[in-house]
Amino acid sequence: MGLFSGVGRFLFGKNPAEAANPYLEQIPGMAREQYNPYIQQGQQAYENMNPVLQQMTSDPTGYMNEMQSQYKPSTGYDFMREQAMQGAQNTAAARGYSGTPEDERRQAELASGLAGGDMQNWMNNVLGVQGAGMEGQSRIQQQGFQGTQSMADMLGGTLNSQASLAFQGQKQKNQQQQDFMKFIGQMAASAAGMPGAGGATGGASTPR
């Protein structure tokens, strides 16, 4: 019965790889569905960040100049400047040098200092916002990289499983073929050694 069972498995048995592949082949699609949003967001974050980082590293002076060209005085700057100029004029008048070159020089220095401080505050605020945005973009890019890595690992694991099953299936098939050939050989040997098999064709005697 064992030999006939082996023959049945050889003739009708299913390759393990063929049985498992329909399930394994679903994994890539499921992985892409889960990870693609993160991968795409990571790619977009890289495209957003890369030009800025390249400019910052290759031409920092040009980058700062471009940033400063966008400066606009704050809403409180005009008020502070007006108050400071009024105070400077009152001081000049009280000390008797109002309208003199010295008065104009001091007022110019005061205005320049106020403008520089306002611009510095503006730059700090802008760079702070940009830094927060870059950090967020970096996190999104890292998530995209991790998603890519996870999907690659999963796809690699799936291919490895398919290869292993294909190997085991072929090994099983080879073993079944060997068992089948062994079975055929045993059947042929049994048929050749059956009692009376050789005399059935020419050894019969004529009755007297």
* pLDDT tens-digit readout, 51-77: 888 888 899 888 888 888 888 888 888
**Angstrom distance (rounded) from CA 67 to CA 109:** 24
In this structure, of 1-5, 23-27, 35-39, 110-114, the range with the lowest mean pLDDT score is 1-5
In whole angstroms, how far apart are CA 131 and each of 126, 136, 160? 8, 9, 43
Over range 137-156, report the average pLDDT.
83
- pLDDT > 60? residue 201: no
Over range 104-114, report the average pLDDT.
84
CB 28 within 8 A of CB 155: yes
What is the pLDDT confidence band of residue 19, given thresholds at 50, 70 and 90?
Answer: low
pLDDT of residue 200: 46
